[in-house]
Amino acid sequence: MGTLSEFKAFIMRGNVVDLAVAVVIGGAFGKIVSSLVQDLLMPVLGLLTGNIDFSKLGYVLRAKSADGAVPELVLSYGKFIQASIDFLIIAFAIFVMIKLLERLKGKAPEAPAAPPAPSAEEKLLTEIRDLLKTRS
């Protein structure tokens, strides 16, 4: 029974629940952005570049055999381009969201900490130094 109650306490901690919510929302947001890129941006980009379908771009390393026993081997760099655009849009959206959250919190930049006051020993040494300078 102790392990079960420890597990319940672990799950109910704020950080774990927040992380779970963030993962679920992040996954859904990733699907939205992937759809935005695949279904809206890439067709327009393909139209602007001469009806190129980026998802089908690739370099054939090995052709399919005539009898179909050996499959075609392709480096699909077009899919990589789409995934890179997905990543950039998601990263930019997260950046904007963090900036907005910071602005809503009213988070002012922290002022640099004042240097610590000199110790009694440092004050005494400074006075001695100044006295020696006046004697010279």
Domains of the chain: 2-108 (1.10.1200.120)
Q: How confident is the model at residue 14 (pLDDT cuts 50, 70, 90)?
A: low
- Measured between alpha carbons, how far is 33 from 86 in angstroms, rounded to an integer? 6
Per DSSP, 70 falls in state: S
Backbone φ, ψ for residue 73 (5° rounding): -115, 115
Which tokens in the block code for residue 55? Answer: 């998802």
Q: What is the per-residue pLDDT across 104-130, written as a single tens digit (0 to 9) for each?
A: 887 656 777 888 888 889 888 898 998
Amino acid 26 reads G
pTM, entire model: 0.51
Has residue 103 got a pLDDT over 80?
yes
What CA dihedral angle connects 128, 129, 133 and 136, to 10 degrees? 70
Has residue 135 got a pLDDT over 70?
yes
Has residue 99 got a pLDDT over 80?
yes
55 with 79: CB under 8 angstroms? yes
